[in-house]
Structure 1
Amino acid sequence: MIDSAKNRADMRIIVVGAGMSGLLAGIELQKAGYTNFVIYEKADKVAGTWRENRYPGLTCDIPSHAYTYSFAPNPDWTQRYPPGPEIFAYFARVTEEFGLNERIVFNKEVTSAVFEDGGWTVGTADGASERADAMIVATGILHHPNIPTFEGQDSFKGPIFHSARWDESVELDGKRIGVIGSGSTGVQIVSALADRASKLVHFQRTPQWITPGQNPQFTEEQRAAFRANPQLMIDLHDSPELKEGLRMFTRAVTDVNSPEMAAVEAFTRMNLENNVQDPVLREKLRPNYRAACKRMIISMDYYEKVQLPAVEVVREKIDRFEANGIRTADGEFHELDIIVLATGFKASSFMRPMNVVGRDGVELNKLWDKRPSAYLAVSIPDFPNFFMLNGPSAPFGNLSSIAVAEYQMMLVMKLLEVISSGNARQISVSREAMATYNSELIAATKGTVWASGCSSWYLDPDGVPTIWPYTLERFMEETSEPKLDAFERA
């Protein structure tokens, strides 16, 4: 008789990354009796993107009680949209509470993984290597900064830094600051620094649609009630209003001609029309693409802050950096003391530059040369016992990445159970199932808002969205129970 419990205890599993998804993987493995696992983290702390990003104004655009693990509510959130330091503290606390610190090896960067002799040989930057029966790659998508180069960049005399490499030694108050980039990060930084800078120039070649939000504080009485009755937090996490809002939004973005999409566009257009008084500035801030084609931005005060006398919005292309500022293509010179690159991340990299080689020498870098893909964002053909969390085609959008990772981890646990139960030694999605999945996915993206005519990090080099094009309910259903006929087992 197969001893599943012993197999779970013996199976060597390497988890790559101690961010939100990697911590989740560790917790779920422990719960299920997989005790022979390790989490390798390239940095010296947990929390991934919330460790890397420390810029002024950093907040999550998911309501705080929805941005928690379903099994670990947090009574200590101070406001509806949690600030970055609180999110980092939450993940650090969860790590401690679930005993994961002893499972994590910090400053251990995985550089290679090669499938050979029925298992994975995993190499790390310190020159070490070890064997694993299975891998869970939880490297995330927002960890390789996209750092552009401009003519004359080295001539600028002041500090230049990316938003994910914030230089906390730089004094900001009273300075002339240029912010390049109009995504969520750029908007948050501008809002945070508009009252502090003597001059703030927001360089945005492409303006964004912005939806208004309110960010009320949780009172001490409310937080005390959460501590006394955790069900209150669970109710907020699973509130019908939040779920209906998510359903409405996913219906909108997955059907560009839907009434829900029309409602989203009307709401964001009204926000611009009603809150920016100067018609010239209003047109500078008006996008020329459909709302939600790029990730929607929630801001409590961006439109208010860009109307301050010290703030300027510049749509002209940057021509070059000079010693004391930036010159744009129209010849105008903007004197600056500090330049911030809020230019996002190389989202399509995923675990790369790790050198991952699957069965029969299949190289992931070549396989993903044009378009990263993974079945349900979890499994790749010819990469047995190799699982991803928040991989290609996951439901990114404006959904909670924690919720998405929890659905995916349920699928991973079911696939691991196939191995531990003795029904297979190796499992991965078949090439045929992957091809069908990809063709259906690509066809379905044509009706989504992401394919409606804008440039975004959701698109592959051919302009095809790499994001889940269906409803969140369908993703939940697809990941709840594996369709084993889609998987090769050996």
Structure 2
Amino acid sequence: MDDHATPRVLVIGSGIAGILTGIELRARGLTDFTILEKADTLGGTWRDNVYPGVACDVPAHLYSFSFAPNVHPTTRFASGPQLWDYFREIAERYRVTEHIRYGTEVADARWDGSRWTVTTTTGESLVADVVVSAVGRLQQPSLPDIPGISDFRGRVFHSARWDPAADVDGARLGIVGTGSSATQMTVATAPRVAHLDLFQRTAQWIFPMDNTPIPWWRRTLMRLVPGYARRYRAGIKRWVDEIGRAATGDPRAADERRQACVDALNTVRDPDLRAKLTPDYEVGCKRLVISGEFYDAVQRDNVEVVTAGIQRVEADGVRTTDGELHELDTLVLATGFHADAYLRPMTVTGEDGITLDDIWADVPMNYKSVALPHMPNFFLINGPFSPGGSASVLSIIEIHVGYVMQLIDRVVADRVALEPDPDRSAELLAAIREQASKTVWGTGGCSSWYLDRNGVPLVNPILLDDLAADMAHPEPTDFHAVPR
């Protein structure tokens, strides 16, 4: 640090985690920080995903900061544009936007023994005492290697990079994938297109929940009655906690969840279509898809669920392994993200020349998903082994940011650099991996982005309240403190 005690902080990413980090830094009077954002505006997930039907699958009133309830949604699940508006408004209200530097992508971060030097893709170097990575997990699209895709005469793009020039009305649309994005697109576009081919490699369990309107009187109470929005939010949290219990091993909750999914599947009238849509793994093994309308959409006459594998893409459409050519005008790749990339392709080098790739060679080693051994004063928000299918990511982010802020408080007060003890990090991570391997993520018989290359879940099977208690206060003995 410089002669003064206030550290210079760089935050990477201006999505939800970056915005909240900025709010908490300002609340502490730590205003010497910059949020580096590679795009030309803030927003993360809700900026990048603009496909038809994009929405959050966590109830809207829980998917907001606890200190700033979102009282504006008119339906149970907020749309992507509504959420982007909310987070932009929050960033402006708390003056976080004053600290954001747009068009700045980080290529490298390097520890020199006392500070971090962060280099951008343009070659510019920035110096900081503390770096906070708020890059998010779902920010690098996973693109399938399909032969001939460059030969397609129509439009082809990933769902997270929606082409604004694409007009699906009256078009022949192909969607590759059946996860949450594909499901939402199917529901939104099926009534608009001439024909929709949904290319399904793996069937999904669908948890039925309609996007019902929020009555005017409830919206009025949220705006006018102090505390009502928070009480309503608490009720939603109890429901989400039940989903978490089902994922982490509660037999009653798991049975109820499975029965709800089976009952929804049985609304598909055609037995052949129902067979196509029936997964061969346990409910919850993959991230659960939430929709009360998907099964109605795929039963439309202009929708076909294609289970034959994709052989290649041709000029006029997609050729499947059964020899059929599916003629298309637009092909959307709803094929997910490199969820295990985290900071990559950024390179990070800590003490003694140890790199992030060294630390993560076998498993993404970390301490409680927020800190890295051998990386002093380098903190993560929602890092590897965060709770995955057992809690709202926004609630997890709030807990992680609160914990990191306490670490930064110590950095300021004691004028030190903090890094977690490697042995303690390994001990905690081993316990998490053992517990996770016994959950449906490890035993459910599926392949998902919850798993590493060895089939071991990369998520922490902990309920939200337990996570909050575990991360209420840092354990000083778990960290090495080096005077600066």
TM-score under structure 2 normalisation? 0.96
How far apart in 1 are the matches of 2:197 and 2:362?
36
Q: Contact conserved, 1:146 with 1:343, CA < 8 A, in 2?
A: yes
Using the TM superposition, give the Cα deviation of residue 253 of structure 1 relative to its aligned residue in structure 2, in angstroms: 1.1
Q: Give the number of equivalent residue pairs.
A: 480
Using the TM superposition, give the Cα deviation of residue 223 of structure 1 relative to its aligned residue in structure 2, in angstroms: 3.0
The match for 2:31 is 35
The match for 1:247 is 241
Using the TM superposition, give the Cα deviation of residue 337 of structure 1 relative to its aligned residue in structure 2, in angstroms: 1.1
Using the TM superposition, give the Cα deviation of residue 252 of structure 1 relative to its aligned residue in structure 2, in angstroms: 1.7
How far apart in 2 are the matches of 1:290 and 1:85?
33
How far apart in 1 are the matches of 2:138 and 2:18?
14
Please state whether the residue corresponding to 1:73 is helix, strand or coil: coil
Check if 1:306 corresponds to 2:298: yes
How far apart in 1 are the matches of 2:226 and 2:189?
36
The match for 1:429 is 420
Using the TM superposition, give the Cα deviation of residue 195 of structure 1 relative to its aligned residue in structure 2, in angstroms: 0.6
Using the TM superposition, give the Cα deviation of residue 388 of structure 1 relative to its aligned residue in structure 2, in angstroms: 0.4
The one-letter amino acid of 2:320's match is: T
The match for 1:206 is 202
Residues 122-170 of structure 1: per-residue CA shift (max 9 Å, x gap): 1112221121111111000011011112111111110001001101111
List aligned pairs for 1:123-138, cutoff 5 A: 123-138=119-134
1:319 to 305, 311, 331: 311
The match for 1:329 is 321
The one-letter amino acid of 1:19's match is: G
Check if 1:71 corresponds to 2:67: yes
2:440 to 427, 444, 449: 449
Q: Contact conserved, 2:248 with 2:390, CA < 8 A, in 1?
A: no
List aligned pairs for 1:239-388, cutoff 5 A: 239=235, 242-255=236-249, 258-273=251-266, 275-388=267-380
The one-letter amino acid of 1:154's match is: S
2:429 to 438, 449, 459: 438
Please state whether the residue corresponding to 2:21 is helix, strand or coil: helix
How far apart in 2 are the matches of 1:482 and 1:22?
21
2:398 to 406, 415, 421: 406
Using the TM superposition, give the Cα deviation of residue 220 of structure 1 relative to its aligned residue in structure 2, in angstroms: 4.5
Q: Structure 1 pair 338/8, CA: closer, same or farther in 2 (3 Å)?
A: farther
Please state whether the residue corresponding to 2:35 is helix, strand or coil: strand
How far apart in 1 are the matches of 2:362 and 2:412?
35
Greater shift in the superposed pair: 67-76 or 136-145: 67-76
Q: Contact conserved, 2:58 with 2:77, CA < 8 A, in 1?
A: yes
The match for 2:170 is 174
The one-letter amino acid of 1:291's match is: V
The one-letter amino acid of 1:248's match is: E
Q: Contact conserved, 1:9 with 1:36, CA < 8 A, in 2?
A: no
How far apart in 2 are the matches of 1:124 and 1:60?
32
Q: Structure 1 pair 209/429, CA: closer, same or farther in 2 (3 Å)?
A: same
Greater shift in the superposed pair: 49-58 or 372-381: 372-381
Using the TM superposition, give the Cα deviation of residue 119 of structure 1 relative to its aligned residue in structure 2, in angstroms: 1.1
Using the TM superposition, give the Cα deviation of residue 333 of structure 1 relative to its aligned residue in structure 2, in angstroms: 1.7
How far apart in 2 are the matches of 1:139 and 1:388?
9
Q: Contact conserved, 2:433 with 2:460, CA < 8 A, in 1?
A: no
Please state whether the residue corresponding to 2:153 is helix, strand or coil: coil
Check if 1:107 corresponds to 2:103: yes
The one-letter amino acid of 2:62's match is: A
The one-letter amino acid of 2:471's match is: T
How far apart in 1 are the matches of 2:72 and 2:240?
24
How far apart in 2 are the matches of 1:21 and 1:488?
25
Identity %: 39
Unaligned runs of 5+ in 1: 1-5
Q: Contact conserved, 2:197 with 2:306, CA < 8 A, in 1?
A: yes
How far apart in 2 are the matches of 1:8 and 1:186?
52
How far apart in 1 are the matches of 2:238 and 2:216?
28
The one-letter amino acid of 2:441's match is: W
TM-score under structure 1 normalisation? 0.95
How far apart in 2 are the matches of 1:251 and 1:228?
34
Q: Contact conserved, 1:389 with 1:405, CA < 8 A, in 2?
A: yes
How far apart in 1 are the matches of 2:41 and 2:419?
31
The one-letter amino acid of 2:34's match is: V
| C-alpha RMSD of matched pairs (Å) | 1.5
Using the TM superposition, give the Cα deviation of residue 325 of structure 1 relative to its aligned residue in structure 2, in angstroms: 1.0
The one-letter amino acid of 2:79's match is: P
Residues 334-387 of structure 1: per-residue CA shift (max 9 Å, x gap): 111110000011011111111100111111023223332321110110001111
Q: Contact conserved, 1:204 with 1:313, CA < 8 A, in 2?
A: yes
Q: Contact conserved, 1:326 with 1:336, CA < 8 A, in 2?
A: yes
Unaligned runs of 5+ in 2: none
1:192 to 182, 188, 194: 188
Q: Contact conserved, 1:373 with 1:393, CA < 8 A, in 2?
A: no
